[in-house]
Amino acid sequence: MRLWLLVGFATLATMAYDFTWTVVSVALPHMQGTFSTTSDQIAWVLIGFMVGSASMTACTGWLSGRFGRKNLFLFSTAGYTLTLVGCALSETLIEASLWRFAQGLVGAALLPLGQTIVVDAFPPERHGRATSIWGIGVMVGNVAGPIGGGFILEHYDWPWVFYVTVPVGIVAFLGVWLFVPATPGNRDTRFDWFGFLTLVGGIGMLQLMLARAEREDWFTSTEILAEGLVAAVLLYLFIVHTVFAKRPFVDRALFLDRNFMTGSAIVAVIGALVVLPAFLLPLMLQQVGGFPPVETGRILIWRGSGVLIGLILVGRIAHLFEPRAMVAFGLLVMAVPSWFMAQWTVELQPFEVSSTNFIQGFGSSFIWVPISTLTLAGVARRLQDQAYALFFLVFEIGSSIGVAVIVGRHVSDIQTNHAALTEHINPFNELFRYGAVASTWAMDSPQGLAALEAEINRQSVMIAYNNAFFATFVLSLALIPVVLLFRRTRQEPPAPVVSEIVPAGADR
């Protein structure tokens, strides 16, 4: 009984983390209205969270060894619960972004430690089953997030998407405190602060540069040049330090592992592919399609359902297929719906959006287990804790950079599309001579011009979404040949990393 209580409370803490990720995605349009911001500005609610999460993930292994796994998990659960209140009380975009950064910072350890606690509670021969139990449990948060968020936003204001998780966090904290066994910390372990700060600082500055580049017109801006220079210097120092230091932050042996480097490169791109729909779809459905929050949640829940069904199926058939073939199949299944999404019009149909989301979620579930096996199976046991942390870190960095780049491009596309469509608005366009068009968009009346401008804006935004989805289609297909770079390994695979659950991604 104590075993299942341990599993239940450890999973509950991680599930709360994942629920908040998905529910915030549904709330983004409402937060955008409250803060009166543009799409690229409200994206900082996600970007801030992912940057904070990446910073903490980078040192989760060391912190766990230094202070003990249970102590760190308790700290993360308590800190995450407190930041929920801070996010709900935010009155400006800056406050919300800072609280979300803090939330990612203190809560990032919930994912890797939650899985580790559950897996270690079972004997080695049952580790695969333990991972499946944890993954399916956490997926409840992923599936419940969209529909729960829609219900909350339909009847209450957006701060309640944060308040509603506070009691869950408190219960999870008490359960972990009572039932998770303590592990001693090693106070003699040393931390490579120089390597950590140069890595996190360089990635953070690169993230800031990419997030603001479109708005500041790239390298014509002194700010972008300065941020790019600082990022380059810090990352250069990190590389040099890693090569020559006696005990670098990242063990050099990992960079010599071909499978680990290949998997890290792939998972960085997959991070962007997984997180982008979580940001773009709620905004598109509510801004372009005019769907209410409850309907938006009902549509988005199909993605989590696809992941859940896929994970159950993969657990049963994974031993029948070569991991590289499964990853390639998953990427292809993710790519096909993106092609159809790139063809959508402003007349969005709930079935089309739901079905493509379900297929994408189903396809992504065929990627994570085999890619974690391929990436981490050949890593020496002494490096596996560090490899897991770096695997999560690369995923979150890819997610945050992908959101920053695509969102910046999205805003620029809207402006370009608006200018291109406006060129066709003139008295000589034959279209405006048709009775139905002339009565709705009459250019000789203020009401007609206002309606015409609203439709141009709507079409411009939709085309920008089409371009973003087409970019995910191209990236998914481009990754398939890269899978061939993996070497086969005969070593026993590690417990799979169920990263679709990661908010940082999640589908988030």
Place of tokens 């912190």: 63
Residue 189 has pLDDT above 80, yes or no: no
287 and 244 in one domain?
no
Cα–Cα distances in Å, from 106 out to 59, 238, 361?
12, 24, 28
CATH number at residue 7: 1.20.1250.20
pLDDT band at 493 (very low <50, low <70, confident <90, very high): very low
222 and 295 in one domain?
no
pLDDT in tens, 361-419: 888 888 877 887 788 777 776 676 677 777 777 887 787 777 777 777 777 788 888 88
Residue 26 has pLDDT above 70, yes or no: yes
Residue 495 has pLDDT above 50, yes or no: no
pLDDT at site 499: 42
Residue 394 lies in a domain: yes
Residue 167 lies in a domain: yes
Q: Which residues of 421-445 are buried (b: 16+ CB within 10 A; e: fewer)?
A: eeeeeeeeeeebeeeeeeeebeeee
pLDDT at site 86: 92
Residue 420 has pLDDT above 50, yes or no: yes
401 and 293 in one domain?
yes
pLDDT at site 438: 60
- Domain range for 450 is 415-457
494 and 401 in one domain?
yes
Q: What is the mean pLDDT of the chain?
A: 79
288 and 260 in one domain?
yes
CA distance 153 to 300: 15
CA distance 95 to 35: 11
pLDDT at site 233: 93
269 and 229 in one domain?
no
**Residue 138 near residue 8, CB atoms below 8 Å:** no
Residue 171 lies in a domain: yes
Residue 314 lies in a domain: yes
Residue 507 lies in a domain: no
State the distance between the two ends of the chain, measured CA to CA, in whole angstroms: 33
Residue 508 lies in a domain: no
Residues 6 or more apart whose CB falls under 8 angstroms from that of 498 comprise 115, 131, 134, 135, 138, 311, 368, 369
284 and 155 in one domain?
yes
Residue 31 lies in a domain: yes
Residue 479 lies in a domain: yes
Residue 275 has pLDDT above 70, yes or no: yes
Place of tokens 């000589």: 428
Token pair of 444 as six digits: 């000789």
pLDDT at site 431: 67
Q: What are phi and psi of 429, to 5 degrees?
A: -75, 120
pLDDT in tens, 332-359: 998 998 999 999 988 888 888 889 989 9
Token pair of 346 as six digits: 């402003």
Q: Count the domains in the chain.
A: 3
Minimal CA–CA distance to 495: which of 318, 305, 280?
A: 318
pLDDT band at 54 (very low <50, low <70, confident <90, very high): confident
Minimal CA–CA distance to 384: which of 370, 373, 395, 396?
A: 373
110 and 230 in one domain?
no
232 and 319 in one domain?
no
pTM of the entire structure?
0.73
484 and 452 in one domain?
no
Residue 155 has pLDDT above 60, yes or no: yes
pLDDT band at 126 (very low <50, low <70, confident <90, very high): low
pLDDT in tens, 59-118: 777 787 778 888 888 999 999 999 999 999 988 888 988 998 899 888 888 877 877 777
Least confident interval from 233-242, 358-367, 486-495? 486-495
91 and 171 in one domain?
yes
331 and 186 in one domain?
yes
pLDDT at site 249: 75
Helices (H), 89-221: 93-107, 110-120, 127-155, 160-163, 166-179, 193-213
CA distance 409 to 70: 42
